[in-house]
Amino acid sequence: MFSKKQNLVIAITTYDIDALRISVPPMRRCARDATLVIYNDNPDAELSRAMVRKLGWRGALYIKNCERNLGEFESRIATLEYIGHEKIPCDWVLFVDDDDALIDAEIPRVSELTFAIIQNATTVSEKLTDIFKITPRWVDGTEYGKTGPHFDITGTLVRYNAAVEFAGFMRSVLPDMVKMAHGFRYRVPVGAIMWAGLNTFMRAHHPEMSAIYMNRTNYVSIKLGHAQKKYGMRTVPATSARVFNANVIKKFTEMFESAAVQNMVADAQ
């Protein structure tokens, strides 16, 4: 049912490199054969290979320290571009937030027409001690936090070729994305927006391909506390997050749909 892991690139974009103390250690238990790519979006803090090795990662490693801050959207686009530029061999790419935990890196054998594999995520949001209990056994369920399908670019296996094409599309609409994001009162759900963008792009350009859902937990989303700001933007109040995020994703999806059509017309000409 599963294939080997060495065809996988795990990509982390980070601004606060101390957060890697959360995301990197769990991967040494489940993704030893994967390649880790870390894009440091903080020009004021250099990340070294020695720092990552001290966190326990012993596998293939690439680090990109940026010269200027790109922001959440562009840093993820730049990460995919970096993977292509460095010619890092892989069939699949999986994004992990720097303050979350990946607990399973197995790649199921799927059709060549599958462009992404959605799995479950467990959200830990109440007890700090819960993050010390995270183990690979959580793939089969856990009594901690809430578990459900994770419709997000993080934790989702995406075929490399699809990811590269999508990065080109995202680069073309980046100015509109940034402008729209800054038009909201609160920080937008970047991962969920990028997942919506990937689906919109693939429906328009590769309608023969589809994403599948696998009822297995591979990701732990850690949302302890409720900081007033993150990445320089106010965080949405927990009581209104669901409605706010749904509205944001709807508006971004409409923009993606329009851009995808224009992109196809331009290609045809």
Average pLDDT over residues 141-170: 93
Closest CA to 126 of 226, 236, 11: 226
Confidence of residue 261 (pLDDT cuts 50, 70, 90): confident
Contacts of 109 (CB under 8 A, 6+ apart): 1, 2, 3
pLDDT tens column, 96-115? 999 999 999 999 999 999 99
Helix (H, G, I), strand (E, B) or coil at 267: helix
Torsion sign (Cα): 107, 112, 116, 118: negative
Query: For 45-68, what is the mean pLDDT?
Result: 96
pLDDT above 70 as % of the chain: 91
> Which of 54, 84, 78 lies closest to 64 in space, CA to CA?
78
Strands 229-230 and 233-234: antiparallel
Element (H, E) at 39: strand 35-40
pTM as predicted = 0.91
Mean pLDDT of 232-254: 84
| DSSP per-residue letters across 51-84 | HHHHTT--SEEEEEE-SS---HHHHHHHHHHHHH
pLDDT(177) > 70: yes
* Cα distance between residue 89 and residue 65, in whole Å: 21
Dmax (CA) for the chain in angstroms is 58
Rounded Cα gap, residues 36 and 93, in angstroms? 10
CA 188 to each of CA 83, 84, 98, 192, 260: distance values in angstroms, whole numbers, following the listed order: 26, 27, 17, 9, 21
Give the pLDDT score at 231: 58
Q: What CA–CA distance (Å, rounded) separates 20 from 97?
A: 9
Per-residue model confidence (pLDDT) at position 140: 78
> Are the C-beta atoms of residues 60 and 7 closer than 8 Å to each other?
no
- For residue 109, give both structure tokens: 């054998």
Mapped onto helix, strand or coil, the DSSP state of residue 245 is helix
Strand blocks (E) in 169-268: 210-222, 229-230, 233-234
